[in-house]
Amino acid sequence: MDERPIGVFDSGAGGLTVMHELLVTLPHEDVVYLGDGARLPYGPRPLEEIRLFAHEIARYLEGLGVKLVVAACNSATASALPDLQRALTVPVVGVLAPEAHAAVLATRNRRIGLLATQATVASGRYEQLVRALDAGVELVPVACPLLVPLIEGHDPFGEATVEAVRAYAMPLREAGVDTVILGCTHYPLIRPILQRVFGRDVTLVFSAEETAREVGELLQRKGIENADPREGTYRFLTTGDPGSFKAMGSRFLQLPIAEVERVELAALAQAAA
């Protein structure tokens, strides 16, 4: 039995969709979540800058005594996962590989669409992962810079979001994809809109369940899982405004958020020094 918590991080509150699945799949584990609200969003930033942010946060979580880190941010995973796995002494799990694997299994015509941030698309990591599994698959990537601000806005299900989804879906529909990877942790929140635009014949793939399953298997293989009978606790940290994180976070986590702690950016920089 290993009572250390699992560390999870994202650029903001979107990664709470992944944390939700961790809490449901591994209810006996403690989880600490850090959202980098002060530097949100990551998507438009250069890959090298995102890599630096991810390194700071992961090292900070390691300093808190976590036993495993989940990079619950597609942009951070695409930019920094191999570097984090080399730099940390604890295992690091990303969200891209589970999605790529699920998409390759799901596609019938071997044409897969990708909706993601600019940084994730620019990294080319999804193409590498998908083609490593099936070299004959065609991946059609579309960067969606408007979706995260809309989803975090006052009306995530409004007409502006619907119109943005229609615009981003158009090239994927024209390409005849039958599977679409939701390559950002925010996007599952508007899954009903996405499914309406694409129709039931298109499979939408999101990694939360697959990522939680991978984390559970990894903990078991390494013998660092917690005891089953207990109910785990969860803790929230943010570099942004705790009140804003709490309000936004409940939308993504779908569970109560009692308290949010503030972390200064200087503390993150010091952890990575």
Catalytic residue selected from 8, 144, 184, 260: 184
Catalytic residue selected from 13, 73, 97, 180: 73
* Euclidean distance between CA atoms 268 and 263, whole angstroms: 8
Closest CA relative to residue 71, chosen from 4, 3, 136, 15: 15
E strand spans, the chain:
6-10, 31-35, 68-71, 92-93, 111-116, 138-143, 179-183, 203-205, 234-238, 260-262
DSSP characters over 183-241 = ESTTGGGGHHHHHHHH-TTSEEE-SHHHHHHHHHHHHHHHT-PPPTTSPP-EEEEESS-
Is 144 marked active-site?
no
Residue 136 has which token pair? 């004959």
Closest CA relative to residue 6, chosen from 249, 225, 227, 209: 225
* Euclidean distance between CA atoms 240 and 98, whole angstroms: 29
* Euclidean distance between CA atoms 12 and 26, whole angstroms: 22
In the three-class reduction of DSSP (H, G, I as helix; E, B as strand; rest coil), residue 30 is classed as coil
* Euclidean distance between CA atoms 105 and 148, whole angstroms: 27
Is 184 marked active-site?
yes
Residues forming the active site: 73, 184
